Amino acid sequence: MKRPKRRHNTSFSYTGAGNKASVFNRKPRAVFSESKNKLNNKSLSKYKLEFNNKSLSKIERKYIKDKIRSENRKKNITVIIFSFLLLIPIILVLQAIIEGALSNLKF
């Protein structure tokens, strides 16, 4: 099975490009390849990143996972406490508003 060729017939193509074979037979280039390389080089020169690519033992993996889980647990607990502390005054204010509205009603 042959691979299809990139060349198009010039007789029945879009003529907006002047019907030049060089326009519609060229290969597309990667759009951001140069920008990506420049950004990568700039960031590496600025931040001096050094990665340690050694494989971790099971104990080290467990330690890292436990550390992440404990940080997430602490964060969740602080969010829950903060939301309760914020919710209690809101409930008290709403209760006072409802009681004031009900006391003003005359049956």
pLDDT tens, residue by residue, 21-68? 666 666 666 666 777 777 777 777 666 666 666 788 899 989 999 999
Instruction: Please enumerate in sequence order all residues whose Cβ is within 8 A of that of 76, keeping only pairs 6 or more positions apart, or say none.
Output: none
Q: What's the CA gap between 76 and 90, in Å, rounded?
A: 21
Instruction: Please enumerate in sequence order all residues whose Cβ is within 8 A of that of 6, keeping only pairs 6 or more positions apart, or say none.
Output: 25, 27
Q: Tell me the torsion sign for CA atoms 63, 64, 70, 73.
A: negative
The helix (H) or strand (E) run that includes residue 100 is helix 58-104
Confidence class of residue 19 from pLDDT cuts 50, 70 and 90?
low
Q: What's the CA gap between 32 and 43, in Å, rounded?
A: 16
The domain limits of the chain are: 15-104
Inter-residue long-range contacts of 41-46, CB under 8 Å, 24+ positions, other chains counted = none
pTM listed for this prediction: 0.43
